């Protein structure tokens, strides 16, 4: 009786998979210009979908999956190339704080950018910071646990981790490249609570202070009512919060920090 370990089983499965792929003769790895040409010509004239038949009909020795991925991430018309702009970065940060790793959902609010691109960008620029932040936060929390205050004196814990570290990154951008700054607004207009994202640049944010930022963020009711506007239905921050709580969404962004007047700007 064979007594295979997990590693051996995995290796065996892997080998079988490789064998299968070889038998099927599917090409893997980087796409050649010729393959790109065949695929884009075929999809342009026949439309997207039915990717497994696309591979055959276009004369490509690729899996349908591979064809779809190549088209979606590289060949599809209207794709943006080049660096993520500060505005786009702001949108990514805010939407990620809202939804987490829902890359395809986030990508819908960045025309011309793919989920893969956004995912890669996030991993490259923020994953490490997130980890280091989590460590810092653990230390903070363990310290807090030792520092037992009466309940009434403790501030409500409303901010989530990812949101906090977003503001860290905004600050870092501030310090490292004070040549630009940005304002990003996420606001909610429809019955499905889908955010509309507006990004705009501004210049002066020297007064940026994290305490103020988060104080403003999480106590929207205190704000000047004239900041609550911008869509067909005028709403207050509190009834929007109720709306989110009602559908189980946890602590979303409902506005933005406006560096130009150093205040929180909600557009609801």
Site for DNA, rule CB under 7 A: 13-14, 17, 21, 27-31, 49-53, 64-66, 68-70, 73-74, 83, 101-105, 115-117, 119-121, 123-125, 128
Minimum distance between the CB of residue 7 and DNA, rounded to whole angstroms?
Answer: 13
Query: What is the Cα–Cα distance from 145 to 111, expressed in whole angstroms?
Result: 45
Minimum distance between the CB of residue 151 and DNA, rounded to whole angstroms?
Answer: 35
Minimum distance between the CB of residue 107 and DNA, rounded to whole angstroms?
Answer: 8
Query: What is the Cα–Cα distance from 199 to 256, expressed in whole angstroms?
Result: 10
Query: What is the Cα–Cα distance from 137 to 78, expressed in whole angstroms?
Result: 41
Please list, in sequence order, all residues whose beta carbon lies within 8 angstroms of the beta carbon of residue 14, skipping any fewer than 6 positions away. Answer: none
Residue 249 three-state SS: coil
Nearer to DNA, 82 or 246 (CB): 82
Pair 197, 154: CB distance under 8 Å:
no
Nearer to DNA, 39 or 220 (CB): 39
Nearer to DNA, 89 or 258 (CB): 89
The residues with which 198 forms a beta bridge, in sequence order, are 185
Nearer to DNA, 11 or 206 (CB): 11
Minimum distance between the CB of residue 29 and DNA, rounded to whole angstroms?
Answer: 5
Query: What is the Cα–Cα distance from 224 to 258, expressed in whole angstroms?
Result: 14
């Amino acid at each position: 009786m064979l007594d295979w370990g997990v590693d051996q089983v995995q290796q065996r499965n892997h080998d079988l998979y490789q064998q299968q792929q070889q038998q099927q003769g599917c090409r893997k790895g980087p796409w050649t210009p010729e393959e790109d040409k065949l695929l884009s010509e075929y999809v342009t004239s026949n439309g997207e979908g039915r990717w497994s038949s696309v591979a055959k009909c276009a004369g490509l020795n690729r899996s349908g999956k591979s064809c779809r991925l190549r088209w979606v991430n590289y060949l599809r018309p209207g794709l943006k190339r080049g660096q993520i702009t500060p505005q786009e970065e702001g949108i990514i940060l805010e939407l990620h704080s809202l939804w987490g790793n829902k890359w395809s959902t986030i990508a819908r609010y960045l025309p011309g950018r793919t989920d893969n691109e956004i995912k890669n960008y996030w991993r490259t620029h923020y994953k490490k910071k997130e980890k280091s932040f989590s460590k810092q936060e653990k230390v903070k929390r363990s310290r807090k646990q030792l520092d037992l205050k009466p309940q009434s004196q403790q501030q409500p814990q409303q901010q989530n981790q990812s949101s906090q570290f977003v503001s860290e990154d905004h600050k870092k951008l501030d310090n490292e490249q004070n040549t630009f700054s940005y304002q990003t607004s996420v606001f909610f207009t429809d019955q499905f609570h889908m955010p509309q994202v507006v990004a705009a640049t501004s210049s002066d944010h020297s007064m940026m202070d994290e305490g103020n930022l988060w104080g403003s963020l999480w106590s929207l009711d205190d704000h000047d009512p004239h900041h609550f506007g911008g869509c067909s239905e005028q709403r207050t921050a509190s009834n929007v919060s109720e709306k989110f709580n009602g559908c189980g969404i946890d602590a979303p962004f409902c506005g933005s920090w406006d560096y130009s007047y150093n205040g929180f700007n909600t557009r609801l």
